[in-house]
Amino acid sequence: MIVYGKNAVKEALSGDDVIEKVLIEKGNFDKALSDIVKLAKDKRAVLQFVDRSVLTQKAGTSNHQGAVLIKGEFDYCSIDDIFNLAKSKGEKLLIVICDSICDPHNLGAILRSAECFGAHGVIIPKHRGCPVNGTVIKTSAGASEHILVSKVTNINDAIRELKERNVWVYATDFDGEDISKTDLVGDVAIVIGNEGDGIKRLTKELCDATVTIKQYGKVNSLNASVACGISLYEVTRQRNK
């Protein structure tokens, strides 16, 4: 897997993954890059200083900020792992379910919000959705190293499993109850829908209820990752009253 961007590479080096190689832009003496070089040396990773064009080729984008890291594939977890994390912390469960999120920037931002607001894990589909790739990792600003992500074959089956384990599953859409008036202090999962089509009909019908973020402007829509962040904030607000 290719990881790029200063924060993403730094967090990857701080984790437990086996690092194959770290590439740094030759002649760039930025302090953040110097910190990455030190981390790479401490981890005894293979370190190379290369031309910017090489980094662009490896990352597939010029937006690499002078740092590219190569490591093994992303380490997905099981749904049980997410439950176990919440139990070990003595906390009520909080999960984000991504229903066909296809934009890696949105998924990265969702992982970032999930980690910031204390979610125990994120569930994504194996098919018809974006996997955790280099762009997701960079957009998450390193949060992908600290949040559990479970990739499942079928989102609807995952929702059924959560409900059987007494988790309340809430769809986010325009026709629901005001999220600020919904009791979210128990074990909950928040479903975020596809950027264009929203949550699939059958998936929405499986959820226990639908919640809505009250809006006041003329544009009656929110970006998927923004809706996720607001929803997670509301959960943590209620739990920390």
Tens digits of per-residue pLDDT, 185-216? 999 999 999 888 899 999 999 999 999 999 88
Assign 104 to helix, strand or coil. helix
Q: What is the tens place of the pLDDT at every residue in 18-68?
A: 898 999 999 988 899 999 999 999 988 999 999 999 999 999 999 999 999
Task: Mean pLDDT check: name the lowest of 7-11, 153-157, 179-183, 203-207.
Answer: 7-11
Model pTM?
Answer: 0.84
The answer to whether 206 and 168 have CB atoms below 8 angstroms apart is no
For residues 159 and 190, the answer to whether their CB atoms sit within 8 Å is no
Is CATH 3.30.450.20 the right assignment for the domain spanning 79-239? no
- In Å, how far are 51, 56, 78 from 75, measured between CA atoms? 30, 25, 10
Alpha-carbon gap, residue 75 to 154, rounded angstroms: 19
Are 134 and 11 contacting, i.e. CB atoms less than 8 angstroms apart?
no
Rounded Cα–Cα distance for residues 40 and 44 (Å): 6
Domain boundary assignment for the chain:
2-71, 79-239
51 Cβ partners below 8 Å, 6+ apart?
Answer: 25, 26
**CB 153: neighbour CB atoms within 10 A?**
9
Q: Could you read off the pLDDT of 96-127 as tens digits, one per residue? A: 999 999 999 999 999 999 999 999 999 999 99
Q: What is the pLDDT of residue 16?
A: 79
DSSP-derived 3-state class of residue 110: helix
Q: How far apart are CA 115 and CA 11, in angstroms?
A: 13
User: Which residue type occupies 69?
Assistant: L
Residue indicated by tokens 């479903």: 191
The Cα 124–Cα 29 span in angstroms is 38
CATH architecture assignment, domain 2-71: 2-Layer Sandwich (3.30)
At 180, which amino acid appears? Answer: S
